[in-house]
Chain A
């Protein structure tokens, strides 16, 4: 099998490996294409703490200035902070330098529109066309605009959260929170926000130095340090962020990961308790969300995977909350972005409001079991894999908006190619462990054979 390319150019942005595919020339061209697309306005840029961040940022600045943009550099900060700043500075767009949960050798550019949301598929495609055509706006050397270093973006973000949600009501004792920031961009903001909310904070992995103390994805197997710290300090809750602080995972007071999907479920239940209204989630998000929606009689809309797809639908449906099952909570009253900081504030308010422990609250929700798998897969093999899944479940209803989602009486099975990596993802959900295993096993070995991995 030929080598799987390390460069991924898609509507989600451009992503690649430092020292390999992600070269400064490629990056500066992408920045020029974006500058050309937005028509030379102000662009907010920021980055996560990856070691390659400075190189990528400089290439981006050069490209944006060359195409006539003014650059507002907010420095190292979470992606949702960049998105918030795009709106608060009335910028024409934003550019986030982060490969979120990818390993440290990766980096990426994500493109943000003037409304602070990621470019939707249509717009992103137009931008890609400009990139590929290679004819970029060029401003004369005499009229080039400059870079403004913007201080205080993080404080502004915290203020925006407190303005809407306020500090925690101090009915009883203060909540004790452990935060695992993965040495990511959240290291700078998370502890500050939690203290401002009025919680006691214990932090681990809070040095944004470009070293990954654990794999960046806040999935249960990566959270053992957090779980141990929660138990050790008898904390009420543990929070885990990824590198760019858009995703949030939660650990219960017993030191057990509750599953990434339940972050959105909890946040949604809290928001709906104050303000019922439409909800938006992607196709791979847990069905527990349907339960929460039905409780308050709110409609739930499903979309393709990808933050841009979710936010687009949220705008259309005037959703009160939305997000993705990977721990991405979008609460439009504060920020039209997946925002782990907003997620933390919502869940803490829920705990304080209800005066219940996290486990007690979870006990009132259906506890579904989900399995997520991924396989390295060249993109040309993806259609065959999808066809196979449809053959296996020929008699069941499908949702074909993003790969194949098979809807079954006891759960569902979803197989699709990733937008961000050369892999194919499988997720399945059912009421019990054996049921969900059976769903996975029904196609997983066939997938492996088709792709022909040498494992």
Chain B
């Protein structure tokens, strides 16, 4: 079976296989129909299929009677902010985020710049599946309007959320790897506003991804070298659309992407105490940070829409996921690596403390991940079987998103990926051996 995921986070697939122009056209028509025409903001990341998907989306939106504001290449958060700025009725981000180059995806945003929630996404899917779309006539059809600078308003919002003067006074040296993604247009510019000495690599939006657009230690070799050679104060790694952030310390050590959120939480809670939102499969390290400040952690199912909605609902001070996504509500309640960078650099500028010293303050835990490949049509039945086994063994468990089995000294969470045909197994305990033991325990039961 070909990889294609149509779900509440949008539609995602491999271009040249199941992700066809017709599919993109159909979803754009469905979205235009869902919003009853109106003004739609569109952006894309830098992957080679971007122009194809972009053309298909514009065509579908125009046919449904929408007016299209084309931001061309920009990070997803820049588009989400533009949705509000242009008083648009919605937005579409054409990006497969951290997926490899041959993938692409559509993500749907509402007029407030947040992703469609589960109910809204289901309604959109119903329209798509029904296949009856609004069709505008020649005398009402609208056109595409291009914007000159899709990044500028984002930078202005960022400037108002952080203490730019303090950061400028420190003249930090910052290395960045933009993975030749849309961040190449935002992050170096933002760092220059912050008065940093910028050492940028892979900042060419016309070049292919130099490595997987997933900011994990195994993709950070080049960034580590730049940090060391340039004696940088910190290094930042990015995905293709500016949602996930990875960190390299001033010593050139790559940090697990799981640490980005706890670091941000530590900084945030020093400033202001309030709830922190994260998903069910993110490490409990963030809970331990929150506990230190007497703050609460709100857990939601995996998916940015859930995080954004919970941030707004609970007036949270921060949101994020273990994948490196951090949302700073003063900027926008969705993952934004530029905002996370602002938060971290502000802290490095205020206190005479390096990033590795900051990491030392974090509580210790070991987390491991393991993926089990499953035929797409068997994802549900494999999970169901696992759940029956867990129940028959009388183990304590939660069913928020997949099955999270709770042990006295750790936990293991088993869930179906929203974006690929795999079952993700995530385990956490203090000691590495125990964590591996938990992974093996779950794998053994999934493969029975």
In the complex, are the beta carbons of B138 and A24 less than 8 A apart?
no
User: What distance in Å separates the Cβ of B263 from its nearest Cβ neighbour in chain A?
Assistant: 34
Contact for A19 among B15, B104, B136, CB less than 8 A: B136
- Nearest-neighbor residue (CB-CB) of B208 within chain A: A142
Within 8 A of A (CB), among B102-116: 102-104
Contact in complex: A66, B208 (CB < 8 Å): no
B 134-167 contacts with A by CB, 8 A: 135-141, 143-144
Interface pair B22/A144, CB less than 8 Å apart: no
Query: How many A residues, CB 8 Å from partner?
Result: 39
Q: With a CB–CB cut-off of 8 A, which chain A residues contact B59?
A: 24, 27-28, 55-59, 62
Interface string of A187-212 (1 = CB under 8 A from B): 00000000000000000000000000
Cβ–Cβ < 8 Å partners of B144 in chain A: 54, 58
Contact at A63–B21, with CB atoms within 8 Å?
yes
Contact B141 A141 (CB under 8 A): no
A23 near B138 with CB under 8 A, answer: no
Q: Which chain B residue has the least Cβ–Cβ distance from A146?
A: B51
How far is B208's CA from A142's CA once the two chains are assembled, in angstroms?
8
A104 within 8 A of B: yes
For window 21-58 of chain B, which residues contact chain A by CB distance below 8 Å? 21-22, 24-26, 28-29, 47-49, 51-53, 55-56, 58
A383 CA / B141 CA spacing, docked (Å): 38
- Taken together as a complex, chains A and B put the C-alpha atoms of A107 and B141 apart, in Å, by 13
Known contacts A28-B56, A66-B20, A104-B138, A143 near B25 by CB under 8 Å: no
Q: Residue B21 contacts which of A66, A104, A106 (CB distance < 8 angstroms)? A: A66
A142 with B62, Cβ < 8 A, contacts A25-B22, A32-B21, A62-B25 known = no
Note all chain B residues with C-beta closer than 8 A to A25.
22, 25-26, 29
Q: Could you tell me the dominant secondary structure of chain B's interface residues?
A: mixed
Question: Which residues of chain A are near B63, meaning CB under 8 Å?
Answer: 18, 23-24, 55, 59
Question: Which residue among B22, B103, B138 has the maximum number of chain A CB atoms within 10 Å of its CB?
Answer: B138
User: Within A134-182, which residues are at the interface with B (CB < 8 Å)?
Assistant: 138-144, 146-147
B26 to A66, Cβ gap below 8 A? no
Decide: B20 and A138 in contact? CB cutoff 8 A.
yes
- Does residue B180 face the partner (Cβ distance < 8 Å to A)? no
Say yes or no: is A313 at the interface (Cβ < 8 Å to chain B). no
Task: Please tell me if the beta carbons of A58 and B58 are within 8 angstroms of each other in the complex.
Answer: yes
A58/B55 contact (C-beta < 8 A), A18-B141, A50-B138, A144-B15 known: yes
A143 to B15, CA, bound (A): 10
How far apart are B49's CB and chain A's nearest CB, in angstroms? Answer: 4
B49 touches A141 (CB 8 A): yes
Q: Is A52 located at the chain interface by the 8 A CB criterion?
A: yes
Q: Is the CB of B16 within 8 A of A138?
A: yes
Q: How far apart are A209's CB and chain B's nearest CB, in angstroms?
A: 11
Establish whether residues A58 and B62, one from each chain, have CB atoms under 8 Å apart when the complex forms.
yes
- Beta-carbon contact of B15 and A140 below 8 Å: yes
A142 touches B29 (CB 8 A): no
Q: Provide the bound-state CA to CA distance between A255 and B51, in Å.
A: 49
Q: Which of B16, B55, B143 interacts with A139 by CB under 8 Å?
A: B16
For A143, the chain B residues whose CB sits under 8 A away are 16, 48
Chain A residue at smallest Cβ distance from B26: A25
Does A51 lie within 8 Å of B141, measured CB to CB? yes
* Chain A residue contacts of B136, Cβ below 8 A: 18-19
Identify the closest chain A residue to B64 (Cβ). A24
Residues of A within 8 A of B48 (CB): 141-144, 146
Q: A65: CB under 8 A from chain B?
A: yes
Is B135 touching A20 in the complex (CB atoms < 8 A)? yes
A415 contacts partner chain B, Cβ-Cβ < 8 Å:
no
Q: How far is the CB of B245 from chain A (nearest CB, A)?
A: 25
Is the CB–CB distance between B22 and A28 below 8 Å? yes
Which residues on the B side are within 8 Å of A292 (C-beta)? none
Q: Are B137 and A62 in contact (CB under 8 A)?
A: no
Residues of A within 8 A of B15 (CB): 66, 140-141, 144
Given known contacts A18-B138, A105-B138, A141-B104, is B55 in contact with A65 (CB within 8 Å)?
Answer: yes
Which residue on chain A has the smallest CB distance to residue B24? Answer: A62
User: Which residues from B are CB-within-8-Å of A28?
Assistant: 21-22, 25, 56, 59
In the complex, A79 Cα to B53 Cα: how many Å?
Answer: 26
Report B-chain residues with C-beta under 8 Å of the C-beta of A105: 137-139
A61 contacts the other chain (CB 8 A): yes
Q: How far is the CA of A54 from the CA of B58 in the complex (A)?
A: 9
Residues of A contacting B139 with CB < 8 Å? 51, 104-105
B52 nearest CB neighbor, chain A only = A65
Residue of A nearest to B16 (CB): A140
Question: Per-residue 0/1 for A1-44: is the Cβ within 8 Å of any B Cβ (1 yes, 0 no)?
Answer: 00000000000000001111001110111001000000000000
Among A50, A58, A143, find the residue whose CB has the most chain B CB atoms closer than 10 A. Answer: A58
Chain B residues with Cβ under 8 A from A20's Cβ? 135
Does the CB pair B53–A62 fall under 8 Å? yes
A107 CA to B137 CA, complexed, in Å: 11
A147 to B63, CA, bound (A): 21
B278 at the interface (CB under 8 A from A): no
Top 7 A-B residue pairs of the complex, sorted by shortest distance between their CB atoms? A141-B15, A62-B56, A19-B137, A58-B59, A55-B62, A65-B52, A140-B16
| A-B contact list, 7 entries, CB within 8 Å | A18-B138, A24-B25, A59-B59, A62-B52, A142-B102, A142-B208, A144-B48
**Apart from A19-B136, A59-B21, A62-B53: 4 A-B pairs, beta carbons within 8 A:** A66-B21, A141-B101, A143-B48, A144-B15
Query: Residues of B with Cβ closer than 8 Å to A?
Result: 14-17, 19-22, 24-26, 28-29, 47-49, 51-53, 55-56, 58-60, 62-63, 101-104, 135-141, 143-144, 208
